[in-house]
Amino acid sequence: MTPRTRRRTEALSRDRIVEAAVELLDAGGEAGLTFRTLTERLETGAGAIYWHVANKDELLAAATDGVVAAALAVGSPGSPPDEIRAVALGLFEAIEQHPWLATQLALQFSRSPSGSVTPRIFEAIGRRVRSLGVPAGHRFTTTSALVSYILGAAGQNAANAQSAAHANRAEFLDAVSDAWEELDAREYPFMREIAAEQRGHDDREQFLAGVDLVLAGITAVHRAG
């Protein structure tokens, strides 16, 4: 089999189509993913792609699910809190590495909560929440709070990274901190107080500190026994 024939054979695989879609999304966002660019990337015809995916929405959902599945493929590092941190960090890194993912996750949660993405994320977090000793009747709310924080904070971090993409991160944070320090002291006393903390902070450490705060609250409210 020649390399060209091999590529055409691979293009007939749904997994390979999704892989190529993720590559195009990473390179150009949702606008960069069209069936035309996909056929060019895979060196195949549109019919071969439509055999596996019906339309762009289905392709975006499959790409989102594929990235999320890889992010959640974590081992069992130990205790339920440690496993929740590992799952959270996996999602954080996936959203950081794939700038389009945060928007697609929001769409999947709002438009297609019965699809594969929402159950996959809730299952990964929820089974660990149950292991924390959270009683039945409180697990949905608890898991929702964790998922909301994880996706919201990770999405905000990705948006901040995009804003600072064309500037030095340290310079960007310095500029933000300087602006906060110049706010009116009577109207924004708190913002002026935390300006120095914001300068040079580590996004990942801040994210995991937030996870720990949520976990501490869960433990305080739902102490096993």
Q: For the chain, how many structural domains are there in total?
A: 2
Q: What is the CATH number of the domain that holds 24?
A: 1.10.10.60
Contacts of 34 by beta carbon, 8 Å cutoff, 6+ apart: 56
For residue 196, is it within any domain? yes
What does the pLDDT read at residue 142?
Answer: 96
Give the range of the structural domain holding residue 174, as residue numbers without chain letter.
75-221
Per-residue pLDDT of the chain (225 residues; tens, 9 = 90+): 444 544 454 446 899 999 999 999 999 999 999 999 999 998 888 888 888 999 999 999 999 999 999 999 876 668 999 999 999 999 999 999 998 999 999 999 999 888 899 999 999 999 999 999 999 999 999 999 999 999 999 999 888 777 666 567 788 888 899 999 999 999 999 999 999 998 888 899 999 999 999 999 999 998 754
Q: What is the CATH number of the domain that holds 79?
A: 1.10.357.10
- What gap in Å lies between CA 98 and CA 29, rounded to an integer? 9
In the structure encoding, which two tokens stand for residue 111, read together? 């438009």
pTM for this one?
0.86
SS3 assignment, position 174: helix
For residue 64, is it within any domain? no
Same domain, 145 and 190: yes
- What gap in Å lies between CA 112 and CA 4, rounded to an integer? 37
